[in-house]
C-alpha cells in the first residue's frame, strides 16, 4: 500500500489536483448550460409550461380584427371571428401547441373607440368570475384604446398569477392579407405555453408589458411599442416564444383580487401648447366636482410655462379642489425630471407629481384605479396621501424608479 501511494505521489503533483478541479467545474458548467436556457441560469425561473390540460378563456370585445365591410365602413360582426379562428386552427392542428380555448363574445361587439370605463369593469368581472376555471385569458380588442385597456386591467387585477393577453389587429381577418391570424395565434401560444403572471400586449411578434405599451401607428402592422421598457419577449422563426425571464414581474404577492373602477371619478388631460388659455380649464374644474385628477402633458423633460400667471393660477385652483396632478411628458419616450429647469422645479411647489416614465395610458388608468381603491367614500382608506404615494411608486411595473437614468435604455 505504502508503495502504491509513494508511486502515485511521484506522478501526481499539486498542480494536477488544480487542473482536475478546474476540469470538473468546466464539465458542470457545460452540463448546466446544455440543460437550461442561458437566461434561466441567471434568473432561476422559467415561465414556459406544457400546453397540455390548460384552458384559455378568450373575451372577444370587438375591434377591426372581426369586422366585415359594410356600406357604412368596417363594423364588428357577430360570429365572424369565431368561425375564422376555428377554420384557421383546424388547419394548424398538428402542432398540438394550442391549449383548449373557449370564446365569450361581447354583445354588442365594440369599436374600441366607443369603450368606456364600464367596459373595463365588464372585462374585470369576467376575468374575476372565471379566474379559477382558466389558466390564461386573452382579450381580443380594437387597437385604438387597446393600450388603455391593457393598463386598466393591469391595475384592476390585483395579485395576478396568470397571463392576461390583450391583442387585436390592424386589418380584419376578412382581408386576404391581414395581421389578425398571426396576432391571435401568437396570443394563443403565449397563453398555452407560458404562465407569465402579467397583463401583456401581444402584437406583431412582440410580447410587451401591457401598461408600458402604446399604439404608435394608425396604419402600420407594427402598431404597438413599449417606449420606456424593453419587450418581455418575442416570436421569431420558432412557434415557442422567447421570454426574457428576468424582466417578468411577479405580481402575485397575495390573494388574487379585482378592484373595479368607480365610474363617476374623472381625470382630465391638459395638453400644454404655447398660447393655451388656462381659464378654460379653470371653468371646467369649477363646473364639475367629479374631476379628481388632472394629467398635465408637459414639454420635454416635464416643463410648463411657469412664467405665465394664468398657468400657475390654474394649478392653484386644482390644489384648492384637491385635484391630484400628474406630470407626463408630451415626448413619446423618456422620463420626467423636474429638477433640471426652473420651469419644472416651480411646478413641484404646486403639488404636481412626477409621472416619471409612465405612458399617458398608464397614468390615466392608474389615477382612476387609485381613486377607486382609496376614495373618500371608502371608509378604510379616506386618505389622499395614499393616492399620491402610490401614484409615484412602481405598483405594476408601469414606471421605472431608478431616477432620471431609468428611461435611458438605449434606442428602441
Ligand atoms: N377602430 C378600431 C378599434 O379600435 C381599430 C382597430 O381595431 O384596429 O376598434
**Among 409, 368, 412, 361, residue whose Cα is nearest residue 391:** 368
pLDDT tens for each residue of the chain, 412 residues long: 555 555 656 666 777 778 888 888 888 877 665 544 444 444 458 999 999 999 999 999 999 999 998 888 888 888 899 898 888 887 776 678 999 999 999 999 999 999 999 999 999 999 999 999 999 999 999 999 999 999 999 999 999 999 999 999 999 999 988 999 999 999 999 999 999 999 999 999 999 999 999 999 999 999 999 999 999 999 999 889 999 999 999 999 899 999 999 999 999 999 999 999 999 999 999 999 999 999 999 999 999 999 999 999 999 999 999 999 999 999 988 788 877 777 777 888 999 999 999 999 999 999 999 999 987 555 444 468 889 999 999 999 999 986 544 444 444 3
Q: Ligand 1, from 81, 109, 141, 143: best to mutate by most atoms within 8 Å of Cβ?
A: 143
Confidence at residue 1, expressed as pLDDT on a 0 to 100 scale: 52
Closest protein CA for atom 7 of ligand 1: 142
Predicted local distance difference test score (pLDDT) of residue 17: 79
User: Domains plus CATH for the chain?
Assistant: 55-258 (3.40.50.1170), 266-405 (3.40.50.40)
Residues 6+ apart with CB under 8 A from 287: none
Cα(178) to centroid of ligand 1, in Å?
A: 14
Residues noted as catalytic: 64
Nearest residue to 53 via CA among 136, 164, 130: 136
Q: Is 179 in the pocket of ligand 1 (CB under 6 A)?
A: no
pLDDT confidence of residue 57? 97
What number of residues does the chain have?
412
Helical axes 384-391 vs 360-373, angle rounded to 10°: 150
pLDDT at 3: 57
Please name the residue that has the C-alpha cell 405580481.
Answer: 251
The span from the CA of 259 to the CA of 69, in Å, is 37
Distance, CA of 373 to CA of 381 (rounded, Å): 8
| Residue 384: strand, helix, or coil | helix
Amino acid at each position: 500500500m505504502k508503495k502504491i501511494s509513494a508511486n502515485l505521489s511521484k506522478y501526481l503533483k499539486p498542480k494536477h489536483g488544480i487542473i482536475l478541479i478546474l476540469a470538473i467545474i468546466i464539465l458542470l458548467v457545460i452540463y448546466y448550460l446544455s440543460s437550461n436556457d442561458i437566461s434561466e441560469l441567471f434568473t432561476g425561473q422559467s415561465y414556459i409550461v406544457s400546453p397540455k390540460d390548460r384552458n384559455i378563456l378568450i373575451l372577444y370585445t370587438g375591434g377591426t380584427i372581426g369586422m366585415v365591410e359594410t356600406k357604412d365602413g368596417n363594423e364588428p360582426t357577430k360570429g365572424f371571428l369565431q368561425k375564422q379562428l376555428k377554420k384557421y386552427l383546424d388547419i394548424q392542428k398538428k402542432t398540438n401547441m394550442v391549449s383548449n380555448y373557449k370564446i365569450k363574445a361581447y354583445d354588442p361587439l365594440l369599436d374600441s373607440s366607443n369603450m368606456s370605463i364600464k367596459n373595463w369593469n365588464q372585462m374585470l368581472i369576467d376575468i374575476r368570475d372565471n379566474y379559477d376555471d382558466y389558466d390564461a385569458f386573452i382579450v381580443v380588442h380594437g387597437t385604438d384604446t387597446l393600450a388603455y385597456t391593457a393598463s386598466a386591467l393591469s391595475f384592476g387585477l390585483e395579485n395576478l398569477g396568470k397571463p392576461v393577453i390583450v391583442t387585436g389587429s390592424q386589418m380584419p381577418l376578412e382581408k386576404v392579407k391581414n395581421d389578425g391570424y398571426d396576432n391571435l395565434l401568437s396570443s394563443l401560444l403565449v397563453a398555452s405555453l407560458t404562465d407569465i403572471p402579467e397583463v401583456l400586449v401581444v402584437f406583431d411578434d412582440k410580447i410587451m408589458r401591457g401598461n408600458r405599451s402604446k399604439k404608435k401607428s394608425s396604419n402600420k402592422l407594427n402598431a404597438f411599442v413599449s417606449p420606456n421598457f424593453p419587450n418581455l419577449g418575442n416570436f421569431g422563426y420558432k412557434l415557442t416564444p422567447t421570454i426574457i425571464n428576468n424582466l417578468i414581474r411577479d405580481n402575485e404577492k397575495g390573494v388574487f383580487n379585482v378592484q373595479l373602477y368607480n365610474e363617476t371619478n374623472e381625470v382630465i388631460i391638459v395638453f400644454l401648447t404655447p398660447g393655451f388659455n388656462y381659464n378654460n380649464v379653470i371653468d371646467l374644474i369649477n363646473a364639475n366636482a367629479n374631476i379628481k385628477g388632472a394629467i398635465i402633458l408637459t414639454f420635454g423633460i416635464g416643463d410648463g410655462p411657469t412664467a405665465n400667471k394664468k398657468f400657475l393660477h390654474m394649478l392653484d385652483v386644482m390644489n384648492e379642489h384637491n385635484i391630484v396632478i400628474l406630470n407626463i411628458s408630451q415626448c413619446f419616450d423618456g422620463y420626467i425630471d423636474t429638477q433640471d429647469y426652473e420651469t419644472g422645479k416651480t411646478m413641484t411647489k404646486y403639488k404636481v407629481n412626477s409621472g416619471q416614465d409612465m405612458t399617458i395610458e398608464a397614468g390615466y388608468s392608474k389615477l382612476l384605479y387609485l381613486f377607486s381603491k382609496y376614495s373618500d367614500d371608502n371608509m378604510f382608506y379616506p386618505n389622499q396621501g395614499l393616492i399620491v404615494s402610490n401614484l409615484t411608486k412602481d405598483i405594476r411595473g408601469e414606471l421605472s424608479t431608478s431616477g432620471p437614468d431609468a428611461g435611458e435604455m438605449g434606442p428602441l
